Amino acid sequence: MELRTVEKLLQKYFEAETSIAEENILREYFASTDVAPHLEHYRPLFGYFETEANKTFEKDLPLKPRKRNVVGWISVAASVVLLSGLFFITNNQSAPADELGTYEDPEVAFRETQKALNMLSNTVNVGVSGVEYLNEYEQSKQKVFKDNLK
Amino acid sequence: MNQKEFINTITPFKDRVFRIAKRLLVSTEEAEDATQEVMVRLWNSRKKLNKYSSVEALAVTITKNYCLDQLKSKRATEMRIVHSNYSDGQAGVDKQAEDKDSWSWVEKIMDDLPEQQKLIIQMRDVEQYDFEEIAKVMDMNETAVRVALSRARKTIRQELIKKHSYGIKNS
């Protein structure tokens, strides 16, 4: 390439008046082996631009942030359903425990209460009759001690 | 827009977004994070993407704003990045090593440019956008873009000449 054209282009280049095509001519010229000695110091500039243009982005792109969010929300929804389900079940079970078997008619209520108390006293009396033996034992013990004291 | 269509849309320019982010943030890791962030933002607004005439211009604009925000918050916490991650290619020929060395000069010179000029020179000289696109992304008019670009290129030239003649000329 003619040296004069290159010099002219360079001048235009530094005034930022070159077109992209003209800049490519300069790039080509400085990539070649026969660069004029007095232009040698521009060589790294164009060489640098050339190598810079070849750098690439190698990392992966994390493009699924939304999808992951959906999964997250589903699990939140599931746990809410589970918790509310458990809550209702326990509530329903504790409801019958609140009914105490009340009676409307006072006479019926009285009879039922008596029955219940009878049942209670029967079982208590079983224990009492057992204690009778102890009484017997106590009396004979007293006798023995009294005789000894005399 | 499903995932496949989305990937097809962003594939042509995702490397560019990465390089623009790297130009501003310097560190490769941060640039990768920024690229991911930008892509996720695009993905989240994928239903609205049809309304834009150029998704790429939108992506570059988001990248620009995101990176500038990052830099702002970093400066607020007084953190400075030390850049030591120039990639190691195959070691080899002297010429190659020499080239790499001088490329890293250029990189350092560009790191010292103001952010606006960094972005413009990245978009023009590396990504080869035309002035109209750059003006749109930068929210400037084309003349202002040209002025900034010319200024950036001249600064680099000046620094390069300084480095090149360092130790040769008595200046």
H helix or E strand, kind and range, residue B8: helix B3-25
For residue A81, the model assigns a pLDDT of: 94
C-alpha B75/C-alpha B117 separation (Å) is 19
| CA neighbor of B17 nearest in space, from B63, B53, B49 | B63
The domain B89-171 is classified under which CATH number: 2.40.30.10, 1.10.10.10, 1.10.10.60, 3.40.140.10? 1.10.10.10
pLDDT of A23 above 80: yes
Which CATH architecture best describes the domain B1-85? Orthogonal Bundle (1.10)
Judged by average pLDDT, the poorest of A34-38, A137-141, B88-92, B153-157 is B88-92
- Asked whether the beta carbons of residue A66 and residue B44 sit closer than 8 angstroms, the reply is yes
* Residue of B125, B131, B149, B165 to mutate, testing the A interface (most A Cβ within 10 Å of its Cβ): B125
A61 touches chain B (CB under 8 A): yes
Establish if B97 touches chain A: CB-CB under 8 angstroms: no
Taking the mean position of all CA atoms in its chain, how far away is CA A131? 64
> Tokens standing for B48?
């609205």
Q: Is the pLDDT of residue B94 over 50?
A: yes
Per-residue pLDDT at B89: 45
Q: Indicate the SS3 state at residue B51.
A: helix
Per-residue pLDDT of A125-144, as tens digits, reads 777 777 788 888 888 888 88
Contacts of A63 in chain B (CB under 8 A): 3, 6-7, 39-40, 43
What's the confidence (pLDDT) of residue B62?
93
Residue A45 in contact with residue B156, Cβ under 8 Å? yes
Helix axes A43-52, B94-111, angle to 10 degrees: 80
Minimum distance, in Å, between the CA of residue B78 and any CA atom of chain A: 28
Domain ranges of chain B: 1-85, 89-171
Give the pLDDT confidence score for residue B168 in this predicted structure: 65
pLDDT mean over A109-129: 85
CA A42 to chain centre: 60
Determine the pLDDT at residue A8: 92
> Cα separation of B13 and B2, whole Å?
18
pLDDT tens by residue, B35-92: 999 999 998 888 888 888 888 999 999 999 999 998 888 776 655 555 555 554 444 4
Contact state of A44 with B99 under an 8 Å Cβ cutoff: yes
* Contacts B160 to A, Cβ<8 Å: 41-42, 44-45
